[in-house]
Amino acid sequence: DFTVIVEKRGDRDIMSQATVKLRVGGELMHTAAEGDGPVNALDQAIRKALLPHYPQLNEVKLVDYKVRIIDEHRGTAAVPRVLIESARGDERWSTIGCSTNIIEASWQALWDSLELPLLRERDRLAHTPS
């Protein structure tokens, strides 16, 4: 579960905050973070929940974030596709999220960008001779 708030009051800068509630290793994690935009806030909140259990994710960096509109003729009802490029050292990978809601599409791509290196590590360990 996640919530993202973007707030603008008077002459103050825009504030973005995200809260995330998810189960990690049987433990319910409920975290919140602020960011320089809604996607950055969401990324920070997800990492707050995951890093205590998966410290290796600290090495994973979001290096590019792109949005493409698939059916642009629909205007504000168009479906955005979010493409995130991530890196860990020399390794790079891309993940995609697609939804009528750009924040949900971003969540999908962010989640996959953090899950993929964990799955690769698990597979590598499973195929390493003892």
Residue 74 and residue 104 in one domain? yes
Which residue's entry shows tokens 């920070």?
44
Report the alpha-carbon distance of residue 78 to residue 99 in Å, rounded: 9
Residue 75 and residue 128 in one domain? yes
Give the number of residues written for the chain. Answer: 130
Q: Is the pLDDT of residue 130 over 90?
A: no
Question: What tens digit of pLDDT does each residue of 99-121 get?
Answer: 999 999 999 999 999 999 999 98
Residue 34 and residue 68 in one domain? no
The whole-angstrom distance between residue 103's C-alpha and the CA centroid of its chain comes to 10
Write down the pLDDT at residue 126: 86
Predicted TM-score of the model (pTM): 0.88
Write down the pLDDT at residue 109: 98
| Assigned token pair, 5 | 């708030």
Residue 70 and residue 122 in one domain? yes
Question: What tens digit of pLDDT does each residue of 53-103 get?
Answer: 999 999 999 999 999 998 888 888 889 999 999 999 999 999 999 999 999
Residue 66 and residue 127 in one domain? yes
Q: What is the mean pLDDT of residues 114-130?
A: 87
Report the alpha-carbon distance of residue 18 to residue 82 in Å, rounded: 18
Write down the pLDDT at residue 25: 87
Write down the pLDDT at residue 95: 98
Domain final residue pick, 14, 33, 53: 53
Residue 37 and residue 72 in one domain? no
DSSP conformational letter for 128:
S
Query: Residue 11: which domain range?
Result: 1-53
| CATH number of 129's domain | 3.30.160.340
Degrees, nearest 5: CA angle 110-83-6: 60
Residue 115 and residue 87 in one domain? yes
